[in-house]
Amino acid sequence: MAILDGMAIDCSDLQAVGGTRFIAVRKWGASDIVQFNDTLHTITLIDEAASTGATWGVFESRLESSSLAITGANEGKEFSTYECTLSWFIPGITTTQFASLYDFDGECLMAMVIDNNDAESGDPNPSLTFANNKVIGVSNTLASQDGSNAGGFHYTTERTQQWCRLQSVEGGTGTAFSDEIGVTVTLVAKQYEIPRAYIGTTSIDANGLGLTTGS
């Protein structure tokens, strides 16, 4: 692609804040339908099946404890490798939390990270949009795919080899009473394109622990 324009940095870019607003995770399903817009480098649809929205679990974390790190490297080939690392801290170590984390084990995952920039940093009103998001484990460069589905690529868990996976759960009880008790969860995805933003429909359920994309 020709480079047609550069980029500007304005005041709002400099006021951008760090951290994540929340993290949504789901398992890849054999019937998942994903649509990409390669011109805008976005994902326009993530469905569980035709006309069936995809359900994600929303994982809260302690404020200011979660981050997404992306490391791109090019070794002289026509593609770059992007290692995406998402980690967050879960305070408590309760049975419920462990049971939830155990669901990640050995699974092919996708994760959506919504950052804190959907509302201006000085605006206390929570944003009703989730535009400032990044999806890891869903990519369209060098991914194995089956294009048989009209209107979108039809992925199967077994064949897209760029899913996100659980890399580590680190933490513990600490020793002193004032130590932190909790675990830091790390998900990683190796892909061959920068993480995309999901620009399709998103809705959060009533208790804030479920998110639906797509239809």
Partner 1 sequence: MAITNGINVKCSDIIGAGGIRNVLIRTWTAADVIVYTNGPTAHAISSIKEGASNATWYNYEFKQELPSLTVTASKENGSTAYECSLNFMMPEMDNVKSAVLQQLMDTCMMVIAVGNNGKAYVLGVSQKYSNEKASNRNQTYASMTGAEGATGAGINDDNGWTVTMGCKQWEAPRIYNGTLALYTNVGSGTGTSTTT
By CB under 8 A, tell whether 18 contacts partner 1: yes
From the CB of 155, what's the least distance to partner 1, in Å? 30
- Which span (27-35, 74-82, 138-146, 200-208) binds partner 1, by CB under 8 A? 200-208
By CB under 8 A, tell whether 103 contacts partner 1: no
From the CB of 163, what's the least distance to partner 1, in Å? 28
From the CB of 11, what's the least distance to partner 1, in Å? 10
SS3 track for the chain: CCCCCCCCCCHHHHCCCCCEEEEEEEECCCCCEEEEECCCCEEEEEEEECCEEEEEEEECCCCCCCEEEEEEEECCCCCEEEEEEEEEEEECCCHHHHHHHHCCCCCCEEEEEEECCCCCCCCCCCCCCCCCEEEECCCCCCCCCECCCCCCEECCCCCCCCCEEEEEEEEECCCCCCCCCEEEEEEEEEECCCCEEECCCEEECCCCCEEEECC
- Binding partner 1 (rule: CB under 8 A), the pick from 30, 40, 50, 63 is 63
From the CB of 176, what's the least distance to partner 1, in Å? 16
Interface residue list for partner 1 (CB under 8 A):
14-18, 21, 60, 62-63, 116, 120-126, 204, 206-208
